[in-house]
């Protein structure tokens, strides 16, 4: 498996007000690899708008959807536009035209993990980061990505940064579970890239490699494609 171990949150990334922002370099690399100039890039969990900043700098068209009013403001201020729409991913087809998106680059909330590790209160009824039951979390992702698939051009890629999760002493094969969910919707699996964040942890917390090994789980860049022909997707 291809592994990216050289992508760290840098000084500029760290200035951005969002608890789980992407390093801009991560999204730049994804967008360069899976789209071309002029393509439309969508981030439906836009947060602080990092992927859209990368899309802009690479001469792609871009649009974002974000539930939190505060992050919509942060993202639009960074971009100097109003291309991040305040709304819910479950209603994405209200805001974005059907079959117009070339590439989705995104990362949904990692279940309700953030509420357990920092003082974070997800706002809004539709917030995926406040769902407590694991199967309900996966069902909601299924609903969200089925809605998003409608917006994608056939042959377009959907790139989701995700991780395996643990809660109450139990480990979940979340990447595997999510990939199965995506294939049930009708997406085709293309590839998986490992994103090793141990170096970032060591730098941020002045930690040793051994400490980083114990604390940091890899994240994964899961790449899917909307097939050219509709197969018998479950609804």
Binding mask 194-233 for ligand SAM (x = CB under 6 A): ----------------------------------------
* Other beta carbons less than 10 A from residue 192's beta carbon: 14
Contact flag: residue 64 with ligand SAM (CB under 6 A): no
85 near ligand SAM, rule: CB under 6 A = no
Q: Which one of the spans 55-63, 83-91, 168-176, 212-220 is the region binding ligand SAM (CB under 6 A)?
A: 83-91
The residue within the footprint of ligand SAM, chosen from 28, 31, 72, 129 (CB under 6 A), is 129
Interface with ligand SAM, residue 88, by CB under 6 A? yes
Q: Please, which of residues 7-46 interact with ligand SAM by CB under 6 A? A: 18, 20-22, 45
Q: Which residues contact 202 (CB under 8 A, 6 or more apart)?
A: 208, 209, 211, 212
Judged by CB under 6 A, the residue of 35, 48, 163, 181 near ligand SAM is 48
- 140-144 long-range contacts (CB < 8 A, ≥24 apart) are 141/108, 141/178, 141/181, 142/181, 142/184, 142/185, 143/90, 144/44, 144/89, 144/90, 144/92, 144/108
Task: With beta carbons less than 8 A apart as the criterion, state whether 227 and 165 touch.
Answer: no
* Residue 68 in contact with ligand SAM, rule: CB under 6 A: yes
Q: Which of 31, 54, 67, 148 binds ligand SAM (CB under 6 A)?
A: 67
The CA distances from residue 31 to 15, 55, 231, in Å, are: 22, 7, 27
Which 3 state secondary structure label does DSSP give 3?
Answer: strand
Q: Which residues bind ligand SAM (CB under 6 A)?
A: 18, 20-22, 45, 47-48, 50, 65-68, 71, 88-90, 107-109, 126-129
């Amino acid at each position: 498996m291809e592994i990216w171990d050289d992508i760290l949150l840098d000084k500029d990334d760290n200035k951005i007000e969002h608890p789980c922002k992407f390093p801009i370099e991560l999204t730049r690399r994804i967008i360069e690899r899976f789209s071309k100039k002029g393509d439309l890039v969508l981030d439906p969990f836009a947060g602080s708008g990092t992927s859209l900043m990368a899309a802009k700098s690479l001469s792609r068209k871009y649009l974002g959807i974000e539930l939190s009013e505060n992050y919509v403001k942060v993202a639009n201020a960074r971009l100097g536009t109003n291309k991040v729409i305040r709304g819910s991913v479950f209603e994405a087809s209200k805001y974005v035209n059907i079959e117009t998106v070339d590439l989705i680059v995104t990362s949904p909330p990692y279940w309700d993990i953030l509420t357990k590790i920092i003082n974070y209160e997800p706002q809004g009824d539709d917030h995926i980061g406040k769902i407590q039951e694991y199967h309900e979390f996966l069902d909601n992702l299924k609903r969200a990505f089925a809605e998003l698939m409608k917006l994608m051009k056939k042959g377009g890629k959907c790139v989701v940064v995700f991780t395996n999760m643990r809660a109450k002493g139990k480990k979940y094969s979340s990447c595997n579970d999510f990939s199965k969910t995506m294939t049930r919707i009708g997406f085709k699996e293309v590839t998986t890239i490992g994103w090793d964040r141990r170096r970032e942890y060591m730098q941020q917390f002045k930690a040793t490699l051994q400490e980083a090994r114990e604390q940091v789980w890899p994240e994964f860049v899961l790449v899917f494609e909307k097939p050219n022909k509709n197969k018998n997707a479950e609804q």
